[in-house]
């Protein structure tokens, strides 16, 4: 069951594998996190940690060689009239089935990383908007056009009627990203997944897109999962943060606690790598030594222990950490806070 009535999405012990010629890639190895209704959850971590795969699982649109082999993703659909909540297990639905197609793009929508590859170059913006609108809404083509133009106007595109009839290559990168946001929001979703939506944009356009998303979120009260590498964006956009490492969420808490009282060594290492105005001009930036291991060759024990400055030999390289409750909504996967194992490790051997 949901942790509380405000939970809109709950991911529990999610395991996802990819079958490749070189073997099985265990991309997700027990992901746990929840998203509250009307809040923004930021998911951060290095490339290869499983952020985008998690988003694909929530949308139930994995590539053909991908399988969710264990765990559960529960979407809590709330009736807008009587406020009754229906729990829907996304992992049990067929990806191309009627039930999942009714959720995907309607209740849960997604903005992808690169709009130029997400928009079909041979179709106009309007035809791609209409596809999403007419699939989920019982409207005529003319009514769909009006809804589409209104959606383009909401994302502050100039001359939305002309943009509706334009092709993607006729628009700038920032305009294409606004089109992607318009398509995602055209059916008024309750949960929006934004997978690094500002990666390919310059800093000025990035700021405009972030301001737009923040304004739309406040206006519609939708929940957002914001996937990003940029901790500055997290501080500006998010209410809660889930930090991922090698297919697991190693820490989840509110954004203030993430920045001011992080508990996991990986979270602290990420924060130390952010350049600050007070840093010495000639000083070197802090880095996290090593790299994310290949998911097909996961080290024993805590997966972060080969790179962890607080690693305890005989403990961190042997035992796999479980989720620990640190108080309130703060959860951490780290053996440093497992009192039982720490006491056993510290006990003298006879």
**Based on C-alpha coordinates, what's the Rg of the chain?**
22
Q: Does 3 have pLDDT greater than 60?
A: no
Task: Compute the distance between CA of residue 233 and CA of residue 36 in angstroms, rounded to an integer.
Answer: 19
pLDDT tens digits, 57-71: 999 999 999 999 999
Q: Report whether 9 contacts 60 (CB < 8 A).
A: no
Measure Cα distances from 49 to 26, 146, 291 in Å: 11, 41, 11
Q: Tell me, yes or no, whether 178 lies in a domain.
A: yes
118 compared with 215, residue with greater pLDDT: 215
Predicted confidence band at 227 (pLDDT cuts at 50, 70, 90)?
Answer: very high
The predicted-structure confidence for 22-45, as pLDDT tens digits, reads as follows 888 999 999 999 999 999 999 999
Residue 163 clears pLDDT 90, i.e. is over it: yes
Q: What pLDDT, on the 0 to 100 scale, is given for residue 344?
A: 85
- DSSP one-letter string for 222-239: -EEEEE-S-HHHHHHH-S
pLDDT given at position 220? 85
In a domain, 159, yes or no: yes
Residue 241 lies in a domain: no
Going by C-alpha positions, the residue among 83, 191, 204, 183 that lies closest to residue 133 is: 183
Contact 158, 104 (CB under 8 A): no
Q: Is the pLDDT of residue 1 over 50?
A: no
Percent of the chain exceeding pLDDT 70 equals 95
Which domain does 147 fall in, by range?
A: 127-183
Tell me if 298 is assigned to some domain: no
Is residue 349 over pLDDT 70? Answer: no
β-bridge pairing 66-78 and 191-195: unpaired
- Could you give the count of Cα atoms lying within 13 Å of 274 in the half-sphere of its Cβ? 14
Check if the beta carbon of residue 76 is closer than 8 Å to that of residue 85.
yes
Contacts of 157 (CB under 8 A, 6+ apart): 163, 175, 178, 179, 182
pLDDT tens by residue, 80-91? 777 789 999 999
Q: How many domains does the chain have?
A: 1
| 341 vs 350: CA distance, rounded Å | 18
Averaged pLDDT, 282-298: 80
pLDDT of residue 316: 94
Q: How far is CA 273 from CA 28, 158, 245, 266, 335, in A?
A: 25, 39, 16, 11, 23
How confident is the prediction for the chain on average, in pLDDT? 89
Best CA proximity match to 333, nearest among 272, 269, 242: 242
Give 229-261 pLDDT, tens digit per residue: 888 889 989 999 999 999 999 999 999 999 999
pLDDT digits (tens, 9 = 90+) for 120-138: 889 999 999 998 888 888 8
* Domain membership flag for residue 157: yes
Query: Has residue 150 been placed in a domain?
Result: yes
Q: Is residue 46 part of a domain?
A: no
Contact 14, 54 (CB under 8 A): yes
pLDDT value for 283: 67
Q: 219 lies in a domain?
A: no
pLDDT at residue 105 in the model: 87
- Structure letter (DSSP) for residue 336: G
């Amino acid at each position: 069951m949901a942790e509380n009535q405000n939970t809109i999405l709950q991911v529990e012990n999610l395991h996802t594998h990819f079958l490749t010629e070189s073997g099985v890639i265990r991309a997700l190895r027990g992901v746990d996190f929840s998203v509250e209704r009307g809040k923004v959850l930021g998911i951060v971590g290095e490339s290869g940690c499983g952020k985008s795969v998690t988003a694909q699982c929530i949308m139930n649109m994995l590539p053909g060689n991908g399988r969710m082999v264990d765990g559960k993703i529960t979407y809590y659909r709330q009736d807008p009239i009587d406020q009754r909540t229906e729990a829907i297990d996304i992992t049990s639905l067929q990806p191309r089935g009627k039930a999942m197609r009714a959720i995907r793009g309607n209740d849960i929508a997604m903005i992808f990383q690169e709009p130029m590859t997400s928009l079909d170059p041979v179709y106009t913006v309007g035809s791609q908007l209409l596809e999403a609108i007419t699939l989920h809404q019982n409207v005529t083509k003319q009514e769909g056009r009006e809804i589409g133009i209104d959606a383009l106007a909401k994302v502050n595109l100039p001359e939305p009627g002309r943009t509706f009839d334009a092709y993607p290559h006729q628009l700038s990168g920032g305009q294409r990203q606004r089109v992607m946001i318009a398509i995602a929001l055209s059916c008024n979703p309750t949960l929006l997944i934004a997978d690094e939506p500002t990666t390919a944009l310059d800093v000025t356009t990035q700021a405009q897109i972030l301001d737009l998303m923040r304004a739309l979120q406040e206006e519609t009260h939708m929940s957002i999962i914001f996937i990003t590498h940029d901790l500055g964006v997290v501080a500006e956009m998010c209410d809660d943060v889930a930090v991922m490492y090698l297919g697991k969420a190693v820490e989840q808490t509110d954004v203030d606690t993430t920045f001011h009282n992080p508990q996991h060594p990986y979270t602290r290492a990420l924060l130390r790598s952010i350049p600050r105005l007070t840093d010495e001009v000639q000083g070197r930036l802090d880095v996290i030594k090593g790299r994310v291991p290949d998911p097909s060759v996961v080290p024993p024990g805590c997966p972060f222990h080969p790179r962890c400055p607080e690693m305890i030999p005989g403990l961190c390289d042997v035992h796999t950490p479980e989720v620990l409750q640190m108080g309130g909504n703060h959860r951490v996967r780290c053996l440093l806070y497992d009192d039982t194992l720490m006491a056993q490790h510290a006990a003298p051997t006879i």
